[in-house]
Amino acid sequence: MAIPADLLNKMTLEEKIGQLTMASANQAVTGPVAPSDFSNSVREGRVGSLLNLWGREETQRAQRLAVEGSRLGIPLFVGADVIHGFETIHPIPLAEAAAFEPALWEETARDATAESAAAGVHLTFSPMIDIARDPRWGRIAEGAGEDPVVGSAFAAAKVRGFQGKGLAGMGTTAKHFVVYGAAAAGREYAETDVSQRTVAEIYLPPFRAAVEAGTTAIMPAFSTLAGIPMTAHRQLLVGVLREQWGFDGVVISDYNAITELMKHGVAADLADAAMLALRAGVDIDMMGFAYERGLPEALKRGTVTMAEIDAAVMRVLVLKDRLGLFDDPYRNGWTPLPSLAERRATARKAGARSLVLAQNRGDLLPLSPGIKRLAVIGPLADARAEMIGSWSAAGKGDDAVSPLTGLRAALPGVEITHVEGTGIASGEADFATAVAAARAADCVILCVGEAALMSGEAASRTSLDLPGRQGELVEAVSATGKPIIALLFCGRPVTIPSLVEKADALLICWFPGSEAGHAIADVLTGKVNPGGHLPVTWPRDLGQVPITYDARPTGRPKNPAEKYTSKYIDSPNSPQFAFGHGLSYSSFSVSDPRIDAGRTITVEADVTNESDREGTTTLFLFSHDPVASVSRPLLELKQFSSITLGPREKRTVRFELQRSDFAFPDEAMQMAVEPGEIEIHVGLSAARAQLRSGTFKLV
């Protein structure tokens, strides 16, 4: 049926503004701004979309209010935060990024869409693609880490996975546009202030990738960039997003963000706030009612025009049409739903692929068959709700598999004792029982880290240390001298110098999702050979933050023999673990790159599995421009490739680069390609010592 002809002309101003208003259906979530009951607003055409609502019955009832109850019968769309799974929860995005596997990122998004669609959700406020380089910021957990190339691949894969072909799946909202991850001092919602060059090179690329992949919506960030709130940032939201990139989808404000323009100090009243947001191209006011309460006055003042309102309304109607809601508002049988067993299997696979084996002294892992007594110790050993992380939609902790449950299922013949030892953040502790259990065991599995909600939104930390008295637990257990396998649960890089020193093996588990325990057991027993790599640089100490692999050179590079060089007097410059770090039960070697600099620049390198067991690793291709008009980063990731090699298998990995891949914003912020020598570095992480290098002449 498509959009009924002449619909716009039939709409009253109130009905037009209704299409620009999104209300929350879950008062528990929304707090004071929630309307008494969204039903009246929908029936009266004053709300055109809902969030925080799911369930077939509930969403169909809401849709009936719009389609059969309102004057013009314009269908609603229902949005939800489906970030890493809907009911079956996948690893948090920062964990899934560690797989460096776009096909997996797409697969989990497809499963999440199938579950969401079955619950009547039409659009997800996802993917969250904010580049994050400060682990104090809790939302580093929700994105793909520090690198724009990884972030761009993640963005495109998630848009493809959620939306499916021809929007057969659900709409996506790439968020939070832009630079939100650079919040001052890592403090949530704080101002951001980075150079135009950094905005262009680091923070914008994932959003451009999402637009090119066809994202249906964009959500501006709560934050300001150099004093301008993103919700009112006309130059980026209109100038770049719509005019330069040709984005023709819908811009949905973040929660109450238009009204908050007054708190930002750029709007004197709601009419001002509404005008600023509308003129910046924000189409939908999420749960702020600023458009409902401010646009009529702004029209009267002449600060907005009816044409501007109509343009926004049309973009919303087109979105609803693209979602098929005019043709079939109830979207029955919308998308096929794989069996629960299949969806759990995907979650288990993704969980295992996201784990990063950070160290494995003496090849303690995989667990030796000779181990007959295990002590599973720590506050996260039998945790379930923590395993699904933040932003877990309709996921339930009770449905998650704890590490202890996973280990018991995988090791029926092993005597496993479990002691919490201490809480995640609590002061109580029973180190004596933990020590006794360790002493009686052949090996200790120490499960430590953060609680799920110590990261995510409104969860910045001033310390990256293990919370509570977990550090003491590590000391007490390691004093027994027993072999220790540490399982680290976190939504961010945490500073763990003592754990690194005391644990023989360290598996970074992040928050692995509903199948956590089985995924972890698959890796610990060797059923799965770990292949995850860090999508973020891991600091030794908070004092190093921000620390990334792509720092620009300094005029005084560190030289131990020289005092006046770039260094700390109390710490190495190097991180605890480099960007891309990740071990395997196999070992791999990488050849020098072979470069052919024709019209297309091809780089080939041979990766060999030097072990007798199949394994997965990721080959990274970095470049460096040693002399340019603007100082270029010491390493710039250009491409990556996750590969699985059989025993002793050697494979040539081929990367193809175009001249335009070496463009960067020059002094005048114009994208330029400057001829000259370019260094190429390939390796299994950004750690300089293991990179293999070559050069070519860029013409």
**# residues near ligand GLC by CB under 6 A:** 7
- What would the DSSP string read from start to end of 182-237? G-GGG-TT--B---HHHIIIIISHHHHHHHHTT-SEEEE-SSEETTEEGGG-HIII
125 in contact with ligand GLC (CB under 6 A): yes
Task: Kindly give, in sequence order, each residue whose CB lies less than 8 Å from that of residue 535, ignoring residues fewer than 6 positions away.
Answer: 94, 97, 98, 100, 144, 145, 146, 147, 150, 579
Terminal-to-terminal C-alpha distance of the chain: 54
Would you say 96 or 254 has its CB closer to ligand GLC?
254
Q: How far is CA 549 from the centre of its chain?
A: 19
381: left (phi over 0), alpha (psi -120 to 50) or beta: alpha
Site string for ligand GLC, 417-456 (x = CB under 6 A): ----------------------------------------
Would you say 174 or 404 has its CB closer to ligand GLC?
174
**Cβ(683)–Cβ(696) below 8 Å:** no
Shortest-Cβ-distance residue relative to ligand GLC:
125
Among 87, 260, 457, 636, binds ligand GLC (CB under 6 A): 457
CB of 125 to ligand GLC, least distance (A): 3
Among 15, 130, 254, 636, binds ligand GLC (CB under 6 A): 254
Would you say 125 or 622 has its CB closer to ligand GLC?
125
Residue 14: what are its φ and ψ, rounded to 5°? -65, -40
Would you say 128 or 583 has its CB closer to ligand GLC?
128
What tokens does 659 get? 């001249």
Would you say 80 or 434 has its CB closer to ligand GLC?
80
DSSP H stretches of helix in 535-667: none
Environment class of 307 (CB within 10 Å of its CB; exposed 0-12, middle 13-18, buried 19+): exposed
The amino acid that residue 365 corresponds to is L
- What would the DSSP string read from start to end of 65-86? HHHTTSSS-PPPEEEE--SSBS
Task: Kindly give, in sequence order, each residue whose CB lies less than 8 Å from that of residue 99, ignoring residues fewer than 6 positions away.
Answer: 105, 350, 353, 354, 531, 532, 642
Among 38, 63, 76, 81, binds ligand GLC (CB under 6 A): 81
Establish whether 254 is a catalytic residue. yes
Residues 24-63, interacting with ligand GLC (CB under 6 A): 51
86 in contact with ligand GLC (CB under 6 A): no
CB of 285 to ligand GLC, least distance (A): 13
Would you say 255 or 585 has its CB closer to ligand GLC?
255
CB of 325 to ligand GLC, least distance (A): 20
Among 100, 162, 247, 255, binds ligand GLC (CB under 6 A): 255
- Rounded CA-CA distance 247/214 in Å is 9
- Rounded CA-CA distance 480/477 in Å is 6
Would you say 80 or 438 has its CB closer to ligand GLC?
80
- CA distance readout (Å), 168 to 109, 223, 333, 335, 347: 13, 33, 11, 7, 22
**Options 130, 147, 254, 522, the catalytic residue:** 254
Residues 228-247, interacting with ligand GLC (CB under 6 A): none
What tokens does 492 get? 């961010």
**Counting every residue, how long is the chain?**
699
Residues 141-200, interacting with ligand GLC (CB under 6 A): 175
- Rounded CA-CA distance 624/678 in Å is 6
CB of 452 to ligand GLC, least distance (A): 16
CB of 219 to ligand GLC, least distance (A): 6
What tokens does 66 get? 């719009």
Give strand pairing partners of 346.
Answer: none
CB of 29 to ligand GLC, least distance (A): 7
- Rounded CA-CA distance 244/585 in Å is 47
CB of 170 to ligand GLC, least distance (A): 14
Would you say 175 or 469 has its CB closer to ligand GLC?
175
CB of 70 to ligand GLC, least distance (A): 24
- Rounded CA-CA distance 27/40 in Å is 15
By C-alpha distance, which of 451, 448, 389 is closest to 420?
448
CB of 548 to ligand GLC, least distance (A): 24
Would you say 125 or 207 has its CB closer to ligand GLC?
125
Residues forming contacts to ligand GLC in the complex (CB under 6 A) are 51, 81, 125, 175, 254-255, 457
Active site residues: 254
